[in-house]
Amino acid sequence: MTARRARCHGARGCASVKRGFTLIDRGFTLIEMMIAIVVLGFILVMLAESFHAVAGSKVHAENRLAVDQAGRTILMQMSDELRGAVQTPFIASRVILIGEARMAGGHAMDSVTVSTLDPGHRRTLEGFGPEDTIAYFTAPNRDHPGWNLLERTQMSSLLTNPPSVNNSNTVILANDLLALHIRYSDGQTFSESWDSSSLPPGQALPMQVTIELELAAAGGAPLSLATAVSLPMAFAQW
């Protein structure tokens, strides 16, 4: 006989009879290879999406941090210059604080002009000097519809003509401004505007100014910052 039957021998179990040829491993078929490649592709796609999400979150966080730092720097500079607003009962000074309320696209786009003894950080370099007139105002950002420019001008308060583009140094502080809302308090109520030229001497400055700033953050929600500034020279003891 060409083949023998398998016989069981009690406790030894069953022994199988080989047929006369040797079994060889046949490897993977083409279908199995294609299935493995598809599964590997899915895994790589999921890993790539995870890396992309992590990288996008990192860039978004860095952009938002940069906008936050820029906004806080602007608020600090505006606060310092408002605190240095000039109003002295003993020495004649040019008292200027003019705040204008304006709306653009449904958002507040206010402006403020102040005569101050603290223009930027100059005082730390050269000490007290004649007051400077500082103006903050907004303009549309032509390169990005919906955004606005926050600009700052500075000129000597000793000049007789008011600040303008021709006689002042204009600096762009932000190009992603969405809103700038400034309010003024006389100690009892807040108003949306202020004009020191129409007020009696000794009352030309508000006691407190609030500033609300809203900046656009690329790829995320707008960033809102606010502060309240007390003007020391607005009080009677000064």
pLDDT tens-digit map of 15-44: 444 455 455 556 678 888 888 888 888 888
For the chain, domain boundaries: 61-234
| pLDDT per residue as tens digits for the range 162-197 | 555 455 678 999 999 999 999 999 989 999 999 988
pLDDT of residue 111 exceeding 90, the answer is yes
- How confident is the model at residue 92, as a pLDDT? 55
Tens of pLDDT, residue by residue over 44-72, are: 888 888 877 776 677 777 888 888 999 99
106 phi-psi bin (left φ>0, alpha ψ -120 to 50, beta other): left
- Give 195's strand partners: 98
Residue with more model confidence, 236 or 146: 146
Residue identified by tokens 């202020």 is: 194
- As a dihedral over the C-alpha atoms of residue 44, residue 61, residue 106, residue 205, rounded to 10 degrees, the angle is 180
Structure tokens at 182: 């400034």
Mean pLDDT of 134-139: 93
Q: What does 59-87 look like in DSSP terms, one character per residue?
A: HHHHHHHHHHHHHHHHHHHHHHHHHTB--
With the C-alpha atoms ordered 99, 233, 89, 94, is the resulting torsion angle positive or negative?
Answer: negative
pLDDT at position 17 is 44
